[in-house]
Structure 1
Amino acid sequence: MLPARPVRVRPNPVIGRHLHVRGIIKSHLTKEGKFLSPGTLLDLVRIGYEMGPYGAGMGARIRDMVQEWVERYREEHQFLLPLMTAVLEGGGNVDAEVIQELSDAGYNIPPRYNYPDLAEFKIHIENSLEKGLSYFSEYRKHREYPLYIDTENAHWLLPSGRNVALVTICDVKEKTILLLRTYGFSASELNKLEFELGELTSTTKIATFGRESVFSGLEENLINLQVNPKISLQTYAKGFGMTLKKSETLSDWCRQTLRHDQVQYAAMDALVLWKLQKDMDEFPKK
């Protein structure tokens, strides 16, 4: 008689999402130099609940970490604690209105990001592939500097089968920054965007920091400004006198309307590449 085959237990996606949220908050409390913005903290609590109600033990543990975050970093945001507690410890009895209130609370927090360097740039936010591609005719024109591109990711796989939620394109020539929200794109739409970006590299130089997944396999006219993979963009920025905040990295890039700080964060992550390249050109590393 053959031995019984071990039963494979499928991981519970609800518990998995809650563990993901707890892990992010915990790591930012225990590692020096890491910080979550209040908006990101609200986002994390909400996206955890959207997968399913928090269990009593899990909700209480995350609630304790949220309390520690408030006491350690942002006493002025003490008013947010009862709202997050209601979601974390309410189990299946949390009303939809409370979840909406949790989502809206992020818009009412005073902005922490206001980069003066963005004042001379027009920021465009587009949600459709068609509107996004309408900028490409301008991108194909001759320019002194490359286009600078950065991406932001979701915490889970999106309809495209990938987790790319936002593609940011900074056009220094026209002083525009496009925030193309790809979180709702189908697989064919994201593939079309990747194809068009690939075609764009045949006429236009494009600079990124590290390898961006939307350029898989494409090398022509691509400039990787990350000379040392062990050095972060934040560290490079400090080298030329700029403080680049990273507390929105793990926020919800799939929310219906991006918060002010998310827009500032994403736009600056692309614009800073221009400043980095100018610094490298002026002070080339030996």
Structure 2
Amino acid sequence: MRILTLDVTPSHRWSYLGAAPRGGTRTVWFPLLRGTVDTLPEDISALLVLSDLQGVAPHRAFDGEMALLGEMLADEVALLGELGELPPPGSVGVVLAGDLYSAPGANVRGASGDVRSVWQSFARYFRWVVGVAGNHDTFGGPREQVRFQQRPGIHLLDGDVVELEGLRFGGVGSIIGDSDRPGRRKESEHLRRIEETLREHPELLVLHQGPDVEGTSLRGSPVIRECVQAHRELLVVCGHAHWESPLATLPGGVQVLNVDSRAVLLEQAARRHTSSA
């Protein structure tokens, strides 16, 4: 799968509260960009790809009470599909690249917590949800996580590959770091999981921590870049470190789509949806 185009200007955006760098909260805008790819499975009209939804926003389903940003976005994007402004949600697959939690007051940077409600919100409307955990994501206790992963339409990956309607997704969650801390692994173990996943030939690899782009300001992991860049036809989706420009191509042809604090809707170029409004 190759990304052919990616719009610079968001087609939609939503305001939310996020933690400010020096304490407290701030109002932030969450953008949705639209792009095209060369191919998608016949029954899939688009992939909705997003990560790092670390904020809260008023939720119409909760009478305007605050909810996790991802819960609100699932409802809002699905509604746009039902109104004809975007593809119908039942034909859209969702790809989540991790870090979906916020402190209830959105006033703590790097807060960790349970993100099952975000995954379930997307699964309620969309065709299926596939992705990985970020270093700030939890899924309840061990038994609760097992039950969660058995839910229809939910595919939480960590060193494995799943084929959904002919499209092969691989995924490795967490980040490289001190393995005594939650959501982190030793570098050798993390790279081993990525390498084992790549041996199963996914078309799209979902990571929370992605590669850097050598010689640019696009931050990430150099060792992850070295691990993935030989796989020429690969599309890597990641978050964790924000890029001003969301799409890059590594030497050899690997494309990297960074969706930290943004959503990207990828449609097949030959059948891109146009608004019926």
- Give the TM-score taking structure 2 as reference length: 0.28
Q: Which has the bigger relative contact order, CA under 8 A and spacing at least 6? A: 2
Structure number with bigger Rg:
1
Structure 1 or 2: more helix by fraction: 1
- Give the TM-score taking structure 1 as reference length: 0.27
Structure 1 or 2: more strand by fraction: 2
